[in-house]
Amino acid sequence: MPVARHVLSHAAERPSRLAVRGPSSELTYDALARRIDGAARHLRRLGLGPGALVAVAPADPVELLVAVLAADLAGATPLVGDPSWDRERWGQVTGEHLAAHIDAPLPHVPPAPALGLSEPEPHVPGLDGHAEARPGDLAWACFSSGSTGRPRAIVRTRSSWTGSYAHLDRLAGIGPDDVVLVPGPLVSSLYAFAALHALATGATAILPGRWFAGRSLAGYLAGATVVHVVPHRLPDVLRQPGSVRVALVGGAALEPGARAAAGAAGVRVVSYYGATEMSFVAVDADGGGLRPFPEVEIEVRPGSHSSLGEVWARSPWLAEGYLAGAAGPLRRDGDGWVTVGDLAEPYRPGQVLRLRGRGDGAIQTGGATVVPEDVEEVLRKVPGVADIVVVGLPHPSLGAVVTAVVEAQETSAPRRALLEATARGGLDAAQRPRRWFVVPSLPRNPTGKPARALVAARLAGGDPEIRRLA
């Protein structure tokens, strides 16, 4: 069932329940249902229905969500993008596929009066002429940039997203009385999924639109019972007093010790692994390690990365593919299995899945294969390291040399000697960085993950902001 139909159902049952709150406005379920119903009628008058790809990019997250749900109710396929993109940028990432572009609040078209009545009958939203929906409709599209920073538009069926909602509710214990903080831009598929999942459940979605820190974050956390975040934001949540009881954490590997710190703060962590192209693959709901998400089959197939293999998955949650002929890491075999090149240790059904990073980020140095995430996990523990990215820079004889870029303020950056001592104590010789740099802020993609390829490109281009670490 479309998420918009869930909203209409919740509006009928609990009309005064707060549905969504943003930086400048809020809507009850009744108000949200009427907004999306009228906006969907406007889209249908424009001829936008099944098969139409609609770019959605209002700057206000509440208006953006209204437009997404209106397109959903009309039967079109919403594609959330960055409000700062111009039409040329949209064309680059979608080709000629766009039927419309929404960058402002949608008009509301009221229902037609009943025939023969001077006054219209009381209107029940969503019951007059909106598109019939099927699970296999190409109903959702979103962007993925992975670790490269290059956006690719990915299209998926309705059921490949919404069918997983009930499983997530059960794993995390989320219900209609919850208040879910979604502290990031909806152009990120992780945050877009989180917002739509909250509304499908009947919960309240809090949408600041971007990350807030300090006092502002405390304000958004007040009253929130669930937060959906990327790992590097979880410590900020735990430092704030509040009522959060569950943290859904995705987008990257969970930091060592993060689950224990959350437990000490009374917050249960449900972490998961997946990709925009694959949706959920594995989940750790109790600290026992990643195991297949419901209805997912996992294989780790031997590859060219020494003892590691590639993670392949088969499930109902897989995307259909990329728009505009875009190239990407998604690969398929003839039996319904897909991969995006992530690496893991050998795996058998019933075991814990032990991820080791993305294969296309592996560094070949002097005949050895170095997985950057392994190096980053050790060096991230050094005091003064806010975050770190490890890349391979070209070398005439080694192929590549392991290079670390530390995120830290230059005045408080850790000494290189301390970093090297930590590397000697926790890493094999081939894994230890030979070059060290510091930058005040790492470039990140919309989910908050460091954009590894962009870091490497800035290094190669001699970016003056990235300085050698003495």
Give 366-424 as a DSSP string: TTEEE-HHHHHHHHTTSTT-SEEEEEEEEETTTEEEEEEEEES-GGGPPPHHHHHHHHH
CATH of domain 277-359: 2.30.38.10
Q: How confident is the model at residue 453 (pLDDT cuts 50, 70, 90)?
A: confident
CATH number (3.30.300.30, 3.40.50.300, 3.40.1830.10, 3.80.30.20) of 362-468 reads 3.30.300.30
The tens digit of pLDDT for each residue in 216-264 reads: 888 899 899 999 998 878 998 999 888 999 999 997 778 778 999 999 9
Percentage of the chain beyond pLDDT 90 is 59
| Rounded mean pLDDT, 67-91 | 90
Under 8 Å between Cβ of 181 and 227: yes
CA angle 39, 144, 186 (to 5 degrees): 40
- Mean pLDDT, residues 116-126 taken together: 43
User: Is the pLDDT assigned to residue 468 strictly greater than 50?
Assistant: yes
Superfamily for 3-210?
ANL, N-terminal domain (3.40.50.12780)
> What pLDDT sits at residue 127?
43
* Whether the predicted pLDDT of 393 surpasses 80: yes
**Strand, helix or coil for residue 284:** strand
Find which of 84-88, 115-119, 234-238 is predicted with most confidence, using mean pLDDT. 234-238
- Give per-residue pLDDT as tens, 394-421: 887 677 899 999 999 878 889 999 999 9
Provide the pLDDT for residue 116: 43
Whether the Cβ atoms of residue 174 and residue 247 lie closer than 8 Å to each other = no
pLDDT digits (tens, 9 = 90+) for 150-198: 568 899 999 999 999 999 999 999 999 999 999 988 988 899 999 999 9
Two tokens at 139? 């109903």
Judge whether residue 118 has pLDDT over 70.
Answer: no
Residue 94 has pLDDT above 50, yes or no: yes
CA distance 446 to 125: 34
- Domain coordinates of the chain in residue numbers? 3-210, 277-359, 362-468
Q: Are 104 and 42 in contact (CB under 8 A)?
A: no
65-70 mean pLDDT:
97
Examine the pLDDT at 444 and tell me if it is beyond 80.
Answer: yes
Task: Please give the pLDDT value at position 151.
Answer: 67
Q: What is the pTM of this model?
A: 0.80
Calculate the average pLDDT of the chain: 88
CA angle 4, 7, 13 (to 5 degrees): 150
